[in-house]
Amino acid sequence: MKKKILILLSLFLIILLAGCTKTSTVDETESTKKEDVKEEEKETNDNNDKSTNEEAEEPEKEEEAEEELEEEPVITGKQIQIFYPNENGDEMLEETISIESLTPDNIMKALSDKGVLPDGIRALNVNLEPGDVENGMQVNFTTSFQDYMGTMGSAGERVILKSVVDTFLGAYGKGQILILVEGNPLQTGHGVYDSYLSVGSL
């Protein structure tokens, strides 16, 4: 009888222990599943946040690109005043024009367009800091300029020279100018221009 009771108690304990072990295993499994679900939800939220951030950044990048395009400077050219004689050559006229950039060639072309000088006459270079005079400049022409001036009478020479002097001084904002030909003072049949000229000096 005692043996039967012991056997029954032993079986009861075994069943009880087995039940606890199974319950513990189930709890661990459920806990693991819950952690996996939380991890997946976290990854999903992270991906959604990343996608939202990327979508938010794209309009910002587009706006920045548009701002950069709007800030690009627009080249409008340089406005200068051209001085030229009227048809009778007894009065100086004045006109404001736009040139692409301030260069001797562009100024010479503008004077040529107004009939002051023929095509082909060029200014080789300008010196804006001659050092021998305050607020002065020098313009160095090709010999074709001197040759053309030599074909003019004294009145015509004065008018043409005044157009060149006043236009170059106004364009570069200088007060005095020395006219050179291949590095030497301009010489015509009416004189040698070896000193600086200013507006109103002719």
Q: Taking the domains of the chain in order of start, what are their residue ranges? A: 78-193
Task: Supply the pLDDT for residue 173.
Answer: 96
Q: Which residues of the chain have pLDDT under 70?
A: 1-76
* pLDDT on residue 75: 38
- Asked whether the whole model's pTM tops 0.85, one would answer no
- d(C-alpha 40, C-alpha 34), whole Å: 10
